[in-house]
């Protein structure tokens, strides 16, 4: 009974349908959002949420720096007053908190010189340019991808739900993807110092560099570490010159940063790090245990990543090296402490790297039709449904048990994919050998 149904389902799921149905869903989601924007008053959509909602926070930090009062940005009252002025005359009580470190405001400042809408359009333009550069850069660095039409690669990126979230929220994910891609390409070419310098550009979201840093330290890539340290020092020094009091104000703000996930008004069901996995599962039942468990999972993940690269050879350009690094980037997202759904867009890099080594597919099957295909599909599907399913768990557990409990299935999909990618590398290069490039 089950086998005939499964066979019929597989027969129905043709390659064309695998592409066309996600494209239709993505198009409908984007069109629906555009309608809410067009119908909404002023700079807000029909729900009263400002257009490019997260860019409002970036715009706030950038404008405070431009006006020479960056330390005040860590005063919520000052943020609220400023943002309500920006959104006037629209009637809304919405506020988007600026929580980034002071150095991030240096990046946002050029987009905050003029009106909000002009800055948002320029910000989107930068993001699309970074996405396009990432795709073209990977096609040049990974020759097998040149057999894949450019429009198909772009389509694969745009039907990924986190990509849509990046557009809708006005986030920085596409820019972060561009930095990740540049770092990968430079490391692959043996230009470690330049790769570290590129990685330091993630100063606006330093948690997204954490996995890279663990890999580079464990692999003893000291030139990359030195390049990253030099770039970071330059960013911090420049910010200190522009606003000497900003860093003390941000540091005094640290308790809010670590507890932000626990605020009831945050869409916490869309969080995906190992730390947040523990909070979502246990914070409503045993809050005293949730935090320590989250840190334990994070440290364990970092330790496992470090141990793996301590043993593995560093052979840039080799198939096993590509696959190991792809697996490590997925794991790096999980150990980043704070990972919202839109930053899963960075998974486009490791997914593309793995795809480049399976373009033909054994027996004509995508990704050889094995575990990598299963887990890649799980990532695409869970990126869309895992957050709402977690929210459903919250509501059901609260109604039935009077406690909020949720298991973020997207985290399990990322773990499964990372394991499958690393296992594929090990099958190609068992044991990792002992060779290490200088």
> What pLDDT score was predicted for residue 345?
97
- Cα–Cα distance between 329 and 377 in angstroms, integer? 18
- Cα–Cα distance between 98 and 194 in angstroms, integer? 30
Q: How confident is the model at residue 48 (pLDDT cuts 50, 70, 90)?
A: confident
User: Region 374-378: what's the mean pLDDT?
Assistant: 89
> What pLDDT score was predicted for residue 339?
92
pLDDT tens track for 63-84 = 999 999 988 888 888 888 898 8
Report the chain's mean pLDDT, rounded to a whole number: 86
> What pLDDT score was predicted for residue 436?
43
Q: Look at residue 69 and tell me if it is in a domain.
A: no
The dihedrals phi and psi of 26, each to the nearest 5 degrees, come to: -60, -40
User: Region 85-107: what's the mean pLDDT?
Assistant: 81
> What pLDDT score was predicted for residue 62?
94
pLDDT tens track for 266-295 = 456 688 999 999 988 988 889 889 989 999
Of 388, 290, 279, the closest CA to residue 338 belongs to 279
Q: Look at residue 346 and tell me if it is in a domain.
A: yes
> What pLDDT score was predicted for residue 258?
61
pLDDT tens track for 228-265 = 999 999 999 988 888 888 888 888 776 666 666 554 44
Quick check: 70 and 107 in contact, CB under 8 A? no
Kindly state the percentage of the chain with pLDDT values over 70: 86
> Does residue 137 surpass a pLDDT of 60?
yes
Residue 259's domain comprises 253-433
- Cα–Cα distance between 82 and 79 in angstroms, integer? 5
pLDDT tens track for 397-415 = 888 988 888 889 999 999 9
Q: Which residue has the tokens 């550069």?
A: 133
Q: Look at residue 227 and tell me if it is in a domain.
A: no
Rounded to two decimals, the pTM is: 0.90
Q: How confident is the model at residue 349 (pLDDT cuts 50, 70, 90)?
A: very high
Q: Which residue has the tokens 């245990």?
A: 289
Q: Look at residue 237 and tell me if it is in a domain.
A: no
Tell me the longest C-alpha to C-alpha distance in the chain. 71
> What pLDDT score was predicted for residue 309?
96
Q: HSE, CB side, 13 Å, CA atoms: give it for residue 192.
A: 18
> What pLDDT score was predicted for residue 26?
72
For residue 81, what are the contacts with CB-CB under 8 A and spacing of at least 6? none
Among 109-113, 367-371, 392-396, where is mean pLDDT lowest? 367-371
Of 300, 283, 322, the closest CA to residue 428 belongs to 322
> What pLDDT score was predicted for residue 438?
33
10-31 in b/e form (b: 16+ CB < 10 A) is eeeeeeeeeeeebeeebeebee
**In the chain, how many domains are there?**
1
Q: Look at residue 335 and tell me if it is in a domain.
A: yes
> What pLDDT score was predicted for residue 4?
61
Q: Look at residue 373 and tell me if it is in a domain.
A: yes
Q: Look at residue 43 and tell me if it is in a domain.
A: no
Q: Look at residue 390 and tell me if it is in a domain.
A: yes
């Amino acid at each position: 009974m089950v086998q005939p149904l499964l066979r019929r389902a597989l027969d129905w799921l043709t390659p064309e349908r695998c592409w066309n149905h996600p494209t239709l869903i993505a198009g409908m989601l984007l069109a629906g959002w555009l309608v809410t924007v067009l119908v909404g008053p002023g700079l807000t959509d029909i729900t009263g949420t400002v257009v490019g909602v997260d860019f409002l926070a970036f715009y706030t930090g950038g404008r405070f720096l431009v006006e020479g009062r960056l330390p005040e940005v860590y005063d919520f009252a000052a943020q609220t007053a400023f943002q309500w002025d920006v959104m006037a005359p629209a009637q809304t009580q919405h506020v988007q908190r600026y929580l980034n470190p002071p150095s991030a405001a240096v990046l946002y400042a050029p987009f905050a010189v003029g009106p909000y809408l002009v800055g948002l359009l320029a910000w989107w333009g930068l993001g699309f340019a970074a996405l396009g550069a990432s795709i073209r850069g990977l096609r040049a660095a990974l020759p097998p991808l040149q057999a894949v039409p450019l429009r198909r690669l772009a389509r694969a990126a745009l039907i990924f739900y986190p990509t849509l979230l990046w557009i809708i929220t006005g986030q920085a994910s596409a820019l972060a993807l561009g930095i990740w891609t540049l770092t990968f390409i430079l490391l692959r070419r043996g230009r470690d110092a330049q790769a570290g310098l590129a990685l330091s550009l993630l100063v606006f979201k330093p948690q997204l560099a954490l996995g890279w840093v663990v890999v580079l330290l464990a692999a003893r890539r000291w030139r990359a570490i030195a390049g990253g340290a030099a770039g970071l020092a330059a960013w911090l020094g420049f910010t200190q010159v522009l606003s000497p009091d900003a860093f003390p104000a941000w540091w005094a703000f640290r308790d809010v940063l670590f507890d932000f996930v626990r605020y009831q008004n945050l869409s916490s069901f869309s969080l995906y790090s190992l730390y947040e996995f523990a909070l979502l599962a246990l914070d409503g039942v045993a809050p005293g245990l949730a935090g320590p468990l989250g840190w334990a999972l994070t440290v364990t993940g970092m330790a496992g990543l470090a141990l793996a690269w301590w043993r593995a050879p560093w052979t840039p350009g080799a198939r096993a090296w590509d696959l190991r690094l792809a697996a490590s980037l997925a794991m790096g997202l999980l150990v980043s402490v704070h990972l919202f759904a839109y930053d899963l867009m960075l998974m486009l890099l490791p997914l593309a790297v793995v795809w480049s080594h399976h373009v033909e597919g054994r027996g004509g099957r995508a990704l050889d039709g094995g575990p990598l295909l299963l887990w890649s599909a799980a990532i695409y599907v869970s990126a869309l449904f895992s957050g709402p399913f977690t929210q459903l768990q919250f509501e059901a557990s609260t109604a039935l048990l009077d406690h909020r409990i949720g298991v973020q299935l997207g985290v399990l999909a990322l773990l499964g994919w990372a394991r499958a990618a690393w296992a594929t590398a090990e099958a190609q290069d068992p044991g990792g050998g002992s060779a290490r490039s200088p």
